[in-house]
Structure 1
Amino acid sequence: MSETSSFGTFTTPDEGATRRVRAALMQKVNGDAEMFALGGSIARVIELADSDEPGPHDLAYFVLSDAALTQRILRLSNTIRYRTVSGTAVTTVSRAIALLGFDNVKTTALAMLLVDTLDSGAHAGSVRIELEAALCASLVGREMARLSFYQGAEEAAIGALFKNLGAVLVASHEHERYREIRQLVTQSKHTPPQASQMILGCSYDTLAAAVLAEWKIPDVIVRAQATLAPGTLKVAGSRGEWMRQVASFSIDVARIMESTAGTAGDAAGTAEARALLARYGAAFELDAAGLERIFTNVADGMAALMESMNLQPMARPEPDTGEGMPDVLLLATLGAGIDEEGAWPSGKPKNARELLLAGVQDVTQLRAAGKARVNDVILAVLETLYRALGFRFATVCLKDARQGQYRARVSFGEDQAVQAGFVFPAAAPPTSSRDLFVLAMDNDADLMISDASSQKIRELLPPWHRTLLPDAKSFIVLPLVVGKAQLGFFYADRAVTAPEGVPADETAMIRALKRQVLAALAAG
């Protein structure tokens, strides 16, 4: 079958050809090691839940394990949209989660994972268009979640983010097919679902759902990718139906904003916006003013997100011209923040004082806001110690009075398995009164050991520490004692010695951080 357009003669493939295209595309996606890793990372982030106490810590740990992702989340929390009234910079991921919100950071991390994996290649211009639409749709989904009464409505932002996954993958892995689909849609003879069905043998929505299912993404998000029937929609009868409506609405809003260069006022006044309102207005109880507010909020959010990811504004390419890389997805290289010249051989940053000071300000602001829980403060302090002093492992141990032992509650660092083994008696065995940890707790003494391999220090190390962390060469112990109550302590170590030590000004700020935790514990 042939069709003629301003682009020339276009031949629609037969059913056998579309089956081969669909099979080849799925094989490419499923067989791509990078895509496999992306799917694993996405599944991991989605399963993080804030209903249980470890949720925010697990998310913070995931973000901190990727230096570039850490920098982008911090950059987002310091954009004009989210900057605090006082103007105090946000320097820890823990504080960023408290400021932006758990679900916001989770969805943003997912968006950044997509961009990082699919930002390059010979067709980055086309991929960029589809990625921006996906990011924009996620922000629309977030706005709709705020207006919803459904429990767990925040998942709609994730469902909306992946609504354009099919187009992103085809643009990245089968660009010729992508161009053909765009041609059909541009001719205004076919909708995107119809055009993708004709060329691929399945719609973009079906492709997205198939890939998400392969990645073991929860069914409610997979089902949200289903194509809606045409015409005016009614109020959803279930959360699942509402999520499908939101996902579809979100990508439609994103397309309108794409065509108007993201200008909210221009988008709200288009014929497409009026048609959008006619289709979804009743379902969402949305009027023209409400739709314009969504356009405005999403435009602001998109600007902040693009700034945080260092994405440059781009002139829209003509994706059907077959050009190479006229407009690549520009992401600045974001390092870990400290290079070899900026750190001691131990790994401790040479600007530790500045990083500690920023952490003190961050934690102070967190407590001053009046909404922080004790665990939020502990997490922010632990992260500051871990990053500012360059430790390989950092944890906070709290006392379990009934069991008569200390147990690691949360941790950051290379080997999370260490946390499970970080359990030991609260009192030294009768046969040994010279236990470094017990002595530190009994005397409320902050210990900063620069060389744990020295004979005198080794004699004071309890057997559990020598067994669990045999290669710890330098470490700190910061007891948490309120009155006479021994509540726990911070511990952090390195696998190398730290002869540079801890000067007085850094020590003062470390103790200031500890005081913030003690004050939170006393108040809570």
Structure 2
Amino acid sequence: MIPAVGSAASNPNTNAASFQPTDGGRRVRAALLQKVCGDDDMFALGSAIARVVQMATSEDQGTHDLAHYVLSDVALTQRILRLANTVRYRTAAGTAVTTVSRAISLLGFDNVRTVALAMLLVDALASSDHAYSVRMELEASLCASLVGREMARHSFYQGAEEASISALFKNLGALLVASHEHDRYREIQALLATGKHTSAQAAQMILGCGFDALSEAVLGEWKIPGVIVHAQRPLEAGALKLAVNRSEWMRQVASFSLDVARLMGRTPTPSDAPEAQALLARYGTALNLGAAELDELFETVAFEMTSLLQSMNLQPMPRRAPQEDKGGLPNVLLLATLGGEEEAQGTYPSGKPKNARDLLLAGVQDVTQMRASGRHKVNDVVMAVLETLYTALGFRFATVVLKDVRAGQYRARASFGLAQARVQEGFTFPLAPAGERSARDLFYLAMENDADLMISDARGAKIRDLLPAWHKALLPDAQSFIVLPLVVGKVQLGLFYADRTEPAPEGVPPDETALIKALKGQVLAALAP
């Protein structure tokens, strides 16, 4: 068993400041920071993490951006859906969750965002040659994030959810050393095994800085918000006092979360361990925790951890000595066959899945359940339908266009697919056509006649003649597409549009057409006064 890497202040009787790094330690630190911050793959990881961390949480656009981000990664999509369909959430939902939009609604924005960040770390470090050490540190990071999330649920601070992200990154330093400088990592573990040093002291002696300082430096390089970076700083030794502000509270939660994660990683019954009493002595007053609350936390996090590992298809980790740590992480990210039938059946040359009917049916059930619950806004329903059309029919771009009376135009409000932001911005056209243009404009014709159009080949001269100039300029390679007008009574509200870059001679059979109309019907019912 690898010795646990505790918090900087886990041994209050030893002064970490008295341990000064050797010249070799300073060189190791500089080399490690250069490797982590200068490597192209790690730069890409930092950019992706910064993007997800900084997504807005208060507006519908934030939820849409997160859904679009998840959908752009097939593996991440499968993991999020798998998590939403684990025992706890599936029971709450009643039916299978088939869209990312509903998964976000069910799991919560902050939960999905933190899971996406955790999976970014897993993916980036999956190729490490040091399977056991990296897996130990990854599990500690994942578990700490779950502890942070539970602490945030009971906090009165606004924006407390960021504690989960802070807790996830609290172990980043140890995780990066295990992955990128494994020889140094083993040297630190050897010092810890003597029982004479804290993790901060051991890391200081070998690296020239503590793990917390390394985490803080890397997150700073990645341009992560300051409150999360600040939360990585070590706490003073001994019993902690009640925090005076949110920033200090997040520091306490981040440290507590990793200490809890370490304890849970060492024993299957953490409540019975003497370290549990030490946790209460150190954090109890500051975080308003008693023995009962701590026991409940252990139980909740253990259950959540099982669900999270199942969603990522991470098998139970074998407990073996560090010297046996030789292989990579073979199979650690092997995905379960969620959607396996779809892969087996394949897709048409157009990109349309051959099991589109089953995917559409699942989407109809999903949206029907959303509306029946009465807990979802109109925007949630629209997004779920848009996502179902996008994924079930294999489109490369899909958008919902709504009337903007003040601006005097129809404009795209939400989209999925390639170049989503750029294309969405350009997808606008006037409320009223100029002159007789409506008789020769496919979009006005569809709305005026409330006709669902499914164009299997847009290359023909007659279809091209009906496409407005703005569409030809914006999407010149659209070879097949659908237009689904949104008309309530005689009021034209907008439309759904989605396209592919290949013709779709397979067409849309009657059963799929009925399901598409059912999806649109749910949106119309939600939009009706």
Is the shorter-chain TM-score for this pair beyond 0.5, marking a shared fold? yes
Listed one character per residue, the Cα deviations across residues 410-466 of structure 1 (whole Å, up to 9, x for unaligned) are 100112211110011122210423211101101111111111111111121112111
Once the two structures are overlaid, the 10-residue window that deviates more, 26-35 or 245-254, is 26-35
Q: Distance in 2 between matches of 1:472 and 1:490?
A: 15
Q: Does 1:283 find its partner at 2:290?
A: no
User: Is 1:331 aligned with 2:333?
Assistant: yes
Cα distance change on mapping 1:220 and 1:408 into 2, 3 Å:
same
Amino acid at match of 1:331: L
Alignment partner of 1:459 is 2:462: no
Aligned to 2:11: none
* SS of structure 1 residue aligned to 2:403: strand
Which residue matches 2:174? 167
Q: Supply the distance in 1 between the matched residues of 2:93 and 2:331 (Cα, whole angstroms).
A: 34
Of 27-36 and 148-157, the range deviating more from structure 2: 27-36
Q: 1:288 to 1:394 in 2, by over 3 A?
A: same
Shift in Å, 1:191? 1.2
Q: Is the 8 A contact 2:313 2:336 kept in 1?
A: no
The question of whether the paired residues in 2 share the 8 Å contact of 1:13 and 1:199 is answered with no
Deviations 1:43-65 (A, max 9, x none): 00001112122110000000000
Residue aligning to 1:477:
483
The equivalent of 2:9 in structure 1 is none
Query: Which of the numbers 493, 497, 505 marks the counterpart of 2:499?
Result: 493
Instruction: Check 1:445–1:325 CA distance in 2 against 1; reply closer, same or farther (3 A cut).
Output: same
What's the counterpart of residue 16 of structure 2?
none
Q: Distance in 2 between matches of 1:204 and 1:503?
A: 59
- Aligned residue for 2:492, secondary structure, equals strand
**Structure 1 residues 431 and 55: alpha-carbon distance in aligned structure 2, compared to 1, 3 A threshold:** same
Distance 1:85 1:213 in 2: 39
Residue 108 of structure 1: which of 93, 110, 115 is its match? 115
Is 1:415 matched up with 2:453? no
Tell me the amino acid that sits aligned with residue 373 of structure 1.
Answer: K
Q: Give the one of 510, 515, 520 matched to 1:514.
A: 520
For the pair 1:307 / 2:313, whether they are aligned, the reply is no
Match of 2:511 in 1: 505
Contact 1:397 1:491 in 2 (8 A): yes
The DSSP-based 3-state class of the residue aligned with 2:293 is helix
Give the aligned CA root-mean-square deviation in angstroms.
Answer: 1.6
Relative contact order higher in (CA < 8 Å, ≥ 6 apart): 2
Question: Which residue of the partner structure matches residue 221 of structure 2?
Answer: 214
Contact 2:409 2:430 in 1 (8 A): yes
Residue 394 of structure 2 is matched in structure 1 by: 390
Aligned-pair CA distance for 1:339? 4.3
Tell me the residue number matched to 2:440: 434
Range moving further from structure 2, 282-291 or 399-408: 399-408
Structure 2 residue aligned with 1:377, among 369, 376, 381? 381
Kept in 1, the 8 Å contact 2:212–2:234? The answer is yes
- Given the two structures, how large is their TM-score scaled by the length of structure 1? 0.94
Q: Which amino acid aligns with 1:70?
A: T
Identity %: 67
Secondary structure of the structure 1 residue equivalent to 2:52 = helix
Report Cα offsets for 1:314-346 as digits up to 9, x if no partner: 122322x26412875612146886449611110
- CA–CA distance in 2 between the matches of 1:127 and 1:85? 34
Does structure 2 retain, via aligned residues, the 8 Å contact 1:130–1:164? yes
Q: C-alpha offsets along residues 248-296 of structure 1, whole Å, 9 cap, x if unaligned?
A: 0000000000001xx3xx1011100110011000001110000001001
Specify the alignment match of 1:424 in structure 2: 429
How far apart are the structure 2 equivalents of 1:328 and 1:459?
54
For residue 3 of structure 1, what is the aligned residue in structure 2?
Answer: none
Q: Contact conserved, 1:120 with 1:329, CA < 8 A, in 2?
A: no
Instruction: Give 1:8's aligned residue.
Output: none
Matching residue within 355, 359, 364 for 2:368: 364
Match of residue 153 from structure 2: 146
User: Which deviations, in whole Å up to 9, do the C-alpha atoms of 1:443-498 show, x marking residues without a partner?
Assistant: 11111111111111112111211121111111100011111211110000011111
Matches of 1:312 and 1:285, distance apart in 2: 35
Q: Matched residue of 1:82: which SS?
A: helix
- Cα offset for 1:401? 1.3
State the SS of the aligned residue for 1:84: helix
Distance apart, 1:28 and its partner CA: 1.0
Find out whether 1:443 has 2:449 as its counterpart. Answer: yes
SS of residue matched to 2:370: helix
Q: Provide, for residues 155-191 of structure 1, a one-character-per-residue CA deviation record: whole Å limited to 9, x for no partner.
A: 0000000000000000001111111111122221111
2 CA distance for matches of 1:314 and 1:465? 53
Where 1:60 maps in the other structure, the secondary structure is helix
The one of 79, 82, 87 aligned to 1:75: 82
Whether the aligned pair in 2 keeps the contact of 1:482 and 1:522 (CA below 8 Å) is: yes
Partner of 2:276: 273
Letter in 2 for 1:470: P
In structure 1, runs of 5+ residues without a counterpart are 1-11
3-state DSSP class of the match of 2:77? helix
Residues 395 and 17 of structure 1: CA distance in aligned 2, closer, same or farther (over 3 Å): same
> Are 1:225 and 2:229 matched, yes or no?
no
TM-score by length of 2: 0.93
Which amino acid in 2 is paired with 1:161?
A: L
Post-superposition shift, 1:30? 1.5
Number of equivalenced pairs: 507
Counterparts in 2 of 1:273 and 1:340: CA distance versus 1, 3 Å: closer
3-state SS, counterpart of residue 81 of structure 1? helix
CA distance in 1, matches of 2:308, 2:21: 42
Secondary structure in structure 1 of the residue aligned to 2:90: coil
Which range moved further: 331-340 or 298-307? 331-340
Q: 1:53 aligns with which of 49, 60, 63?
A: 60
The question of 1:405 aligning with 2:409 is answered yes
Amino acid of the structure 2 residue aligned with 1:324: K
Equivalent-residue separation in structure 1 for 2:114 and 2:329 (angstroms): 26
Contact preservation (8 Å) 1:426, 1:438: no
Deviation at 1:87, TM superposition (A): 3.6
Does residue 27 in structure 1 map to residue 29 in structure 2? Answer: no
